[in-house]
Amino acid sequence: MSSESPVSLLDIKNTLDILCNSVEGLTKSNSEKDAKIDNLLEEVSKLRKILTARDKKIADLKCRITEMEHFTNESKRFSLKNNVIIRGLRIVKPPRSYAAVVNEQQVQDASAAPEPVRTSSSTPATDMFKLVRSQVVEYVQKNLEVAISEEDISAAHELKKGPNDEVALLVVRFVYTMSKQDVMSRTKYLRGKNVYLNDQLTKTNGKIFGRARYLKRMNFIHATWTRLGKVFVKKTEHSSPTWITSLLDLPTVP
């Protein structure tokens, strides 16, 4: 016979109570952990919503900035659309008279003296405008065979020479867009004469055109040109021309 004492019902009950308490403790502990995890997930969800809203706001602001930059650039381009930059055309200036040189020297020596009264409405600026205008008209008529007159040009002046410029650049503004286009359509007749006519571009469009010309030299695009200050590109020989308004519109170099 076995020498072990029989297990009483009370011992069994106590053991069951201990086991129940242990299970309840484990369940409670797991519940607290689950609650903490749920709270963390809820916080993460809130942060994600905040980040999504912020990203959307940033994207909207970038879009508005891009639109404003395009609007500003287009406004500047429109104001320059009738302008032409002429490179290589030397303006022949008449010799200054002895009286003019002496008068200028006297003004410099007596800067405190009152300014002399002009007897003519002519000023150095208007004289230069007339001089540049007349010589540009004469050159265009002779070399491009375009029938323009001095009345077709509303402004003309020299720009300051750069360190590598032998001849100062000229800026010419035409009164009518059609007159300018008539002139620009015949620039092929200037080949070999070292005189070049180009649209006056905005700073933004100048960068775009410079990049497009690089892509053309590297054979990444078929052709590029400007018209009324706009930059156009043909990506392939048979593709349609595309108006480029941003550097991002140009093909990326692999």
**Could you write out the three-class secondary structure of 174-205?**
ECCHHHHHHHHCCHHHHCCCCCEEEECCCHHH
| Class (C level, CATH) for 82-111+121-200 | alpha beta
CA distances to 65, 82, 123, 141 from 135, rounded to whole Å, are 43, 18, 18, 10
Token pair, residue 188, equals 């092929």
The number of beta carbons lying within 10 Å of the beta carbon of residue 250 is: 20
Please state, for a pLDDT cut of 90, what percent of the chain lies above it: 59
Q: Where are the domains of the chain?
A: 27-80, 82-111+121-200, 201-254
Pairwise CA distance, residues 57 & 71, whole Å? 21
State which amino acid sits at residue 132. Answer: V
Band of pLDDT at residue 40, cut at 50, 70 and 90: confident
**3 or 182: which carries more pLDDT confidence?**
182
pTM for this model (two decimals): 0.69
Give yes or no for a contact between 229 and 243, defined as CB atoms under 8 angstroms apart: no
72 phi and psi, to 5 degrees?
A: -65, -45
Is 60 exceeded by the pLDDT of residue 98?
no
How are beta strands 230-234 and 242-244 bridged, if at all?
antiparallel
pLDDT in tens, 134-158: 999 999 999 998 999 999 999 999 9
105's enclosing H/E stretch is: helix 98-109
Stretch among 31-35, 57-61, 86-90, 203-207 having the lowest mean pLDDT: 31-35
Segment 245-250 shows an average pLDDT of: 93
24's enclosing H/E stretch is: helix 9-80
CA distances to 6, 27, 84 from 14, rounded to whole Å, are 15, 20, 104
Is 70 exceeded by the pLDDT of residue 109?
no
Q: What local confidence, expressed as pLDDT, does residue 119 receive?
A: 44
pLDDT in tens, 191-203: 999 999 999 999 9
pLDDT in tens, 70-88: 999 999 999 999 999 999 9
**53 or 119: which carries more pLDDT confidence?**
53
Q: What local confidence, expressed as pLDDT, does residue 117 receive?
A: 47
